[in-house]
Amino acid sequence: MDSHRGFQFHAYRPNAPHTDKHALRATRGRITLFMEVSDGELPSGWHLRDVLRHEINRLMDPATLRHVDHLN
């Protein structure tokens, strides 16, 4: 199992029947980030995991957390 900054990554299949979506979620305690892609392409060389890592880094940035007393 892969992780980044305390978030655990899990691939999953979206609930919609007959979907061709690629999906990944990252969970840390009660915080869950979801990423689903169906059409189009991600930036060159990027995968779903890279997008979630980018969003986790933005979420965990000290400026973002300035007024947060406790995370999980």
The answer on pLDDT for 38 being more than 90 is: no
Round the average pLDDT of the chain to a whole number and report it.
85
Neighbour tally for 67: CB within 10 Å: 5
Instruction: Return the closest-CA partner of residue 18 out of 3, 35, 38, 33.
Output: 38
Q: How far is Cα 70 from Cα 43, in angstroms, rounded to an integer? A: 34
Instruction: Determine the residue type at 51.
Output: V
The predicted pLDDT at position 72 comes to 59
pLDDT at 22: 82
Residues 31-46 have a mean pLDDT of: 86
